[in-house]
Amino acid sequence: MYKKLGLLVFLFGVTLASTAQKVQITGFVKDSLGSPISMANVIAYKKLDNAMASYGITNDKGKYKISVPANETYILKVSFIGLTAETKSITISTNDEVIDFEMRSEENSLDEVEIVYEMPVVVKGDTLVYNTDSFVNGTEKKLGDVLEKLPGVEVNEDGEIEVEGKTVSKVMVEGKDFFDGDSKLATQNIPADALDKVEVLRNYDDVGQMRGLRNSQDQVAINIKLKEGKKNFWFGDITAGAGVGETERYIVKPKLFYYSPKYSVNVLTDINDIGEVPFTMRDYFNFTGGFRNLGSGGTSFSISTDDLAFATLQNNRANEINTKFGAANFNLMVNKKLDISGYGIASDNKVDLITNTRKVYVDDTQDPTDNTIEETFDNTMQRSTLGLLKLNASYRPSSSFRLDYDILGKLSEQKEEDAFLSTRSTVSEDINERLENSPFSIQQNMNAYYTLNTKHIFSLEARHLFQEEDPFYNAIRAEIPFRGVFTQINDPLLPGSDIFDPLEESESYSINQKKEVKTSKLDAKLDYYYVINKKSNLNLTFGSTLSTQNFDSSIFQILDNGNQNNFEADEFSNEVKYNFNDVYVGLHYKFIKGIFTFNPGVSVHNYDLKDQQLGTKITQNEWQVLPDLFVLAQLRQSESLRFNYSITAEYTDVNRLAAGYVFNNYNSLFQGNRNLENSLYDNYSINYFNFNMFSYTNIFAQLTYSNRRNPIKNTSMITGINRVDTPINSNVADQIFSANGSISRTFGKIKGGLNVNINRSAFNTIVNTLPSESISLTQTYKTEWSTNFKKGPNFDLGYSLTVNDYDNNGAENIFYTSQPFARLDWSFAKGFLLKSSYNYYEYRNTETTLNEYSFWDADLFYQKPDSKWEYKFSVTNVLDTKSINRDSFNELYSSTSSYVVQPRYWILSIKYNL
């Protein structure tokens, strides 16, 4: 490992050594009265060819600093809207220089505005405008490649855009939504050569009437401005390729875009079997459709989805992955008052997973030397067919009224078949599982905003969700399932009882579960804002959440002769109707005092709950008073400190209340508890942000703490590999603390950064009637350095270290994951481009290395200058790595899993650029 790390350091050192000698030019920019001018732009042009050599922006003291190559003559220009200054010429040797500027008013500042707009970065209030040509070097292929080179912008491992530590919630192109609800589709599909400007919209609120009234500090959007040649014309690319590995491979990716002032169309397709998954099951469940969270005055009541423990991809890697994906997005301006937009997404993924897992279970004796060990070899075949359709209309008849309506439909069909061998002690058992689910949901959103006058503003927001799920589970085992398990309905002092007493003896035991969950949930709130003056307003809120859920399930046995053995006992079936109603009123007062913005508030809730099952009805009616506080300290234009405090009341949905058994998987059952009470969470957070345009330094830090009173926790009964979980309200609080921060800075053509994430959680549960405390401390440290030269190779080098420290009742386990990585972009000869990435993983504990592996991918491009045709030769998994592994630990077991991954592929593809 250290040799590999040394090689990365050597490559980076070579790159640094190749950097030309730089000289610094510093100075101050002031007005005619001697007052400093902040955010003025200073540009150095080479006198020989008028090419821009460097640029800078003055800080709050009017100081600027730029670096230029030595032994050249430069023209220095300074610009600021409404002011002008004399242009200066200076010949630089090898010594640093100091040049000051004095700016004066001018009558016509239109030319200055044009100069400012062409600056690499311009700050306009809460908007950062990046001129992408100032940051790219010509090797970029997609939007994500460009964003990674912009100061203060990151693209995470999932392809999502992050700014100031916050995930971008909306991506627009020319002001029009691009698949509202997911930034991943934008980063991986919009071509880099179409970009002109990238606008980062901080504190974003797409409703003009509400700007400044709501706390939108966590809302970030990005708007892409296209080059002139990409407007009113179809653009995009069509890619097709084939290759070989152990079998033949293929890839087809047409992508088309059209933008005009009145309408836009985007069409994305991706068909391949090389492991590139543009839209996963995780993306489907997380896809919000761009619906903004209404909030509910401190109540947390979320409708859960049943994924039946479907297997998930490990970093898009598996033994075999076959993908078909298609999506279309449109925006139409019907007239000046009405806009219509929408999209459709369809995806069909087939996945073959081969997994070896070793689990060490906590035995009921709690003797660490006498634990049950299970080893499984699992072959999983999975198919997920996913579909989404969204339509949106926005009607704005006047500046004082706006009406928005959205409807989002989601439909999927998921199937999974597992065949695996389970070995423990003296038992070796073949087990087969079959999982099916076809969830369906329709979500409607209606928002109306009305401004009576400058003092009185009204907002009505309503959302309705209808959701249906019908998961089916089947397990076929040679052994009687859940034999000898302690249960909640049996005396835990009498071990050895069987849960499935109604089982009829058979050569193999086929246990089945049907389940159906229907949900109807309506959220609505009416806000009235009284604007006292420019620095203060009152907000009165009336809101409600009304939910009805029906939960039905049954467990039965299919006999060898095909007959069905229905289990009649109450514990094997559920028929539950659950109503949750929350009616509340809230009051907030927002005011600005100097650099501080205060927004204290309180909400009063009446909760009414009804649970009908087992022939009886249980009702609850209670009141809660939930305060919250928001404080913002705007230290400077691009530096702030933010504090949030709130009390959240968490209520469970029907899935935790159903008293009958429900399968999680072949060795895990869940039994609900209809007597659950709500939990109260005390939430604290502090956020610090500083984006220094003077030095291109971006700093973000966050501290959060949550104290969970009366939390809903699972009490677990476990014998051998079998477990039964039941939720209860714990009288011991859970505590979660997290700290994360990042700092990045650009030094000329070199960008460096450091990220730190620390999370500590302390959970208290009950295992086999005994209290159990589980403490988890996860630390991740990552540094990354990249170059961005116009000529020659560019490197991206980094190192990541993750430390997982698990402590369960004093039994401590520590695991380390080390990951050095490197990426190369090298444009050479005429039209050739080499892009390559290498990742090395070492997984170890305190004593020895448990596993190590690496991945190396390489792409060679050729495109003749000014040609529309591009040729690409790719090699995936160059080292032909066979497997990767993942480890986890909880209060019931620790596990180590090894996943077989796709072998080396050689792909030749051709792309035609429209």
pLDDT at 266: 95
pTM of the model: 0.85
CA 622, 625, 628 angle in degrees (round to 5)? Answer: 145
* Cβ–Cβ < 8 Å for 251, 245: no
pLDDT tens string 408-451 = 999 999 999 999 999 988 788 899 999 999 999 999 999 999 99
Q: How much is the pLDDT for 294?
A: 67
CA distance 23 to 18: 16
The answer to whether 878 touches 909, Cβ cutoff 8 Å, is no
pLDDT surpasses 60 at 109: no
DSSP class per residue in 541-590: EEEEEEEEEEEEEEEEEE-TTS-EEE--SGGGEEEEEEEEEEEEEEEEEE
How wide is the angle at C-alpha 45 spanned by C-alphas 40 and 50, nearest 5°?
135
* Residue 471 vs residue 285, higher pLDDT: 471
- 286-290 mean pLDDT: 66
- Is the pLDDT higher at 302 or at 124? 302
Specify the amino acid at residue 185: L
128 has pLDDT over 90: no
Which range, of 163-172, 227-236, 489-498, averages the lowest pLDDT? 489-498
Lowest mean pLDDT among 123-137, 378-392, 551-565: 123-137
Q: What is the pLDDT of residue 219?
A: 81
Q: Please give the Cα distance from 399 to 444 (Å, whole number).
A: 25
Please tell me which residue, 20 or 619, carries the higher pLDDT value. 619
HEC assignment per residue over 130-165: EEHHHCCCCCCCEHHHHHCCCCCEEECCCCCEEECC
**How sure is the predictor about 118, in pLDDT bands with cuts at 50, 70 and 90?**
low
Closest CA to 194 of 259, 275, 273: 259
Mean of pLDDT values over 338-357: 94
**How high is the pLDDT of residue 688?**
94
User: Is 543's pLDDT higher than 80?
Assistant: yes
Q: Which amino acid is at 129?
A: V
- CA dihedral in degrees (114, 120, 123, 128; nearest 10)? 120
Segment among 139-153, 155-169, 355-369 with least mean pLDDT: 355-369
pLDDT at 516 over 90: yes
Q: What's the pLDDT band for 111 if we cut at 50, 70, 90?
A: very low
For residue range 15-69, what is the model confidence (pLDDT) as tens digits? 444 445 788 899 999 988 888 888 788 888 888 887 778 888 888 788 988 888 8
Residue 115 is predicted with a pLDDT of: 40
Q: Give 717's pLDDT tier (boundaries 50, 70, 90).
A: confident
Stronger pLDDT, 42 or 484, i.e. the higher one = 42
Residue-level pLDDT at 697: 84
pLDDT at 771 (0 to 100)? 83
What is the pairing mode between strands 176-177 and 170-173? antiparallel
Give me the chain's average pLDDT, please.
Answer: 86
Cα distance between residue 868 and residue 846, in whole Å = 55
Structure tokens at 635: 């230290």
The torsion angles phi and psi of 365, rounded to 5 degrees, stand at -80, -10
**DSSP structural state of residue 20:** P
- Gap between the Cα atoms of 802 and 753, Å rounded: 17
> Which of 116-120, 235-239, 438-442 bottoms out in mean pLDDT, i.e. has the lowest?
116-120
- The CA R_g of the chain, rounded to the nearest whole Å, is 30
242's tokens: 């084939």
Cβ-Cβ contacts under 8 Å for 858 (sequence gap 6 or more): 834, 835, 836, 837, 874, 875, 878
**Distance between CA 268 and CA 247 in Å, rounded?**
27
Give yes or no for a contact between 328 and 343, defined as CB atoms under 8 angstroms apart: yes
Compute the average pLDDT of residues 547-553. 96
pLDDT tens-digit readout, 794-809: 999 999 999 989 887 7
Look up tokens 């939930």; give the residue: 626
Average the pLDDT over 263-291 and give the result.
83
pLDDT one-digit tens code per residue, 842-852: 988 888 888 88
Question: Looking at per-residue confidence, does 583 or 484 come out higher?
Answer: 583
739-760: buried (b, 16+ CB within 10 Å) or exposed (e) per residue?
bbbbbbbbebbbbebebebbeb
* Most confident range, picked from 66-70, 556-560, 729-733: 556-560
Map residue 430 onto helix, strand or coil. Answer: strand
Q: For residue 574, which of 503, 618, 517 has the smallest C-alpha distance?
A: 517
Helices of type H across 307-365: none
Whole-angstrom distance, CA of residue 134 vs CA of residue 198:
12
| Residue whose token pair is 């008028």 | 50
**Which tens digits make up the pLDDT trace of 455-469?**
999 999 999 999 999
- Give the CA distances from residue 144 to residues 157, 481, 630, 813, in Å, rounded to whole numbers and listed in that order: 11, 49, 33, 38
pLDDT tens-digit readout, 560-603: 888 999 998 888 999 999 999 999 999 999 999 999 999 999 99
End-to-end Cα distance, the chain: 45
- Provide mean pLDDT across the span 749-776: 87
In the 8-state DSSP scheme, what is residue 672? -
Q: Is the separation of the CB atoms in 772 and 762 below 8 Å?
A: no
The answer, yes or no, to whether residue 181 has pLDDT greater than 70, is: no
CB contact at 8 A, 386 and 359: no
| Of 333-347, 433-447, 486-500, 774-788, the least confident | 486-500
Q: Give residue 851's pLDDT.
A: 81
Alpha helices in 759-885 (DSSP H): none
pLDDT of residue 230: 86
Task: Give the pair of three-digit tokens for residue 482.
Answer: 């859940």
Alpha-carbon distance of 152 to 150, in angstroms, equals 6
pLDDT beyond 70 at 295: no
Contact 681, 575 (CB under 8 A): no
